[in-house]
Structure formats: C-alpha cells, structure tokens
A = this chain, B = another copy of it.
Amino acid sequence: MKLLHDKIIREGMALNEHVLKVDSFLNHQIDPELMREMGTVFAEKFGDQEVTKVLTIESSGIAPALMTALALGVPLVFARKRKSLTLQEDLYTESVYSYTKQETFSVSVSAKFLSAQDRVLIIDDFLANGEAAAGLARLVKQAGAQVAGIGIVIEKSFQQGAARLREEGYLVHSLARIASLGKDRIIFAE
C-alpha cells in the first residue's frame, strides 16, 4: 500500500534490526485519514470472505480495525489484554507470549460477542512472530467460529509469523512488508 510505504519511509524510525517505531501515525499518535484508507484496502482484500465481525486486540489495533469494520459494515470486537486472568465461564481466554516484552499475557473476549456463526477477520498493527494473531485465532476457534482472514498493517517478513500463519492455512494480507531493518534503514519486501 503506497500511502503506508511513503508514511513509513517519511516518519518510521528503525532503531535497530528488530524495532520499527511508527508512533507518529499508528501506535500513539494516529493518522485518521491513513486509517480510513487502510480500512478500505482491507475491506477490498477480504470483501469476498463473508466477514461477520472484525476482531483486534487493544490498543494499537483498534484504529485500523475500526475503519475496516466500518468499511465492511460489521461490528468490531477488541480483545482485552491482561497480565494474568482467572478463567471465567463467560470469557474466551488465551495466553500469548510477547517476545518484545518477554512476558506472557492473557487475551480475552466475552463469549457474548463471538458465536459459532461468525466469520471473523482478525486485524492487528504488527506481525512479527505471530503470537498475538495466533492467540486471536485460537479465541475465534474457542467460540466455534471461523477465521475469515488476518489483516496486518506492518509485517516483519524477516520473522516467522506470517509464514507460520500461512502454513496453518490462514489467508494473511499485510499492507506493508518489511524485509529487513537496521539503524535508520528500512527495506521493504516488495
């Protein structure tokens, strides 16, 4: 997606081989017009997947996911992230390991908002090792629902998440794919 590539080149900051800061338009400050464009592109890409609901994870996933849900005309659900969570009957809960923070956290969704009839499009801001997206996919399965696809704003293609999710049979579309990072150097995969 050219608009996003341009924005990453102009405002993204590669701190080292692993960390790309995009807090001026995605993770802290948010560019609403860019989010709307992203939502339009995701809605086109997954438009034939009979999506009934968009699922993301707080907080940085909410903006692109909201615009995608708006473009598709379906509700958005955001999973709650917690340090730990006692299991509750009315919640679907999964554990997710964060390589960045080197800790395990819980993601949960109220059972009210995912049903066996749902076809769920998962949207998230970053895909690296794929732990968060895989955790959301397990939440969908817990509900007996189908994963209609996985839409990612920025994929770090040099980590194994995208390959792993595609091997598991998921339809994955990333708006920007980063082949490599280095201090002040960003190389796109396309």
Contacts and interface: CB of A to CB of B under 8 A. Distances in A.
Interface of A: 23-25, 28-33, 35-36, 58-59, 62-63, 66-67, 69-70, 73-78, 80, 109-110, 112-113
B31 A66 contact: no
24 contacts: A23-B110, A24-B113, A25-B75, A28-B77, A28-B78, A28-B109, A28-B110, A29-B76, A29-B113, A30-B62, A30-B76, A30-B77, A30-B78, A32-B67, A32-B69, A32-B70, A32-B75, A32-B76, A33-B70, A33-B73, A35-B66, A36-B70, A58-B58, A63-B66
Contacts of A69: 30, 32
A31 B80 contact: no
Contact of A29 (B23, B25, B58, B77): B77
A contacts with B: majority SS: mixed
A67 B74 CA distance: 16
A127 to B, nearest CB: 20
A23 B91 CA distance: 13
Contacts of A75: 25, 29-32
Contact of A78 (B24, B59, B76, B109): B59
B80 A28 contact: yes
Contacts of A74: 32
Given A23-B110, A29-B113, A66-B67, 19 more contacts: A24-B112, A24-B113, A28-B110, A29-B75, A30-B76, A30-B77, A31-B75, A32-B67, A32-B69, A32-B73, A32-B74, A33-B70, A33-B73, A35-B66, A35-B70, A36-B70, A62-B66, A63-B76, A66-B66
A66 B32 contact: yes
Contacts of A28: 77-78, 80, 109-110, 113
Nearest to A66: B63
